[in-house]
Amino acid sequence: MKSLQECIKDACDEVGDPHIMSFYNTYSGRGMYGRQCVGIVGTVSDCQLIIGHVIKDLSMALSRVAKESVLPDYSATEDDLADTENDFDKAINQLMNFSQDNMGMGGMIFYWPDLEPIQEENLEIGHHDADLNEDD
């Protein structure tokens, strides 16, 4: 299963309008004292839409493993299903643990202080990483 950070990035790529919705890989929010995390910028409804798509993608991955664990032609086991269920629960809990700041002009950033940035070698070129970092 891909990381939650990658799921958020992928949802921004698939759903978000790049002119109004952006993924940020190295945001440092209020009270983070220089630590960096992932975030998404857009209107509140845009950010909620991205979170909804992440939940949908995670549940589709869980469903796929569940189907594979009961069909004789597939290799997934009950242990695989239990691991995937645990990963799903952990990802949903992390996804719900976001912070938000007003960016002005109707824009918001939703960010996840506990989700470290995606490693550079795994980050596709073209994603925003603008200077949105706030002063500590």
Decide if pLDDT at 47 tops 50. yes
Tell me the whole-structure pTM to 2 decimals. 0.77
Overall average pLDDT of the 125-130 stretch: 48
pLDDT for position 88: 86
Overall average pLDDT of the 103-114 stretch: 88
DSSP 3-state of 14: helix
Dig out the tokens for 74 from the structure: 């597939």
DSSP 3-state of 89: helix
Neighbours of 6 (CB within 10 A): 15
User: pLDDT tens digit string along 54-97?
Assistant: 999 988 887 877 776 666 666 666 677 677 788 888 899 999 99
Query: Cα 10 to the chain's mean position, in Å?
Result: 8
CA dist., res. 69 & res. 55, Å (int)? 21
65 half-sphere exposure, CB direction, 13 A CA radius? 18
Neighbours of 5 (CB within 10 A): 21
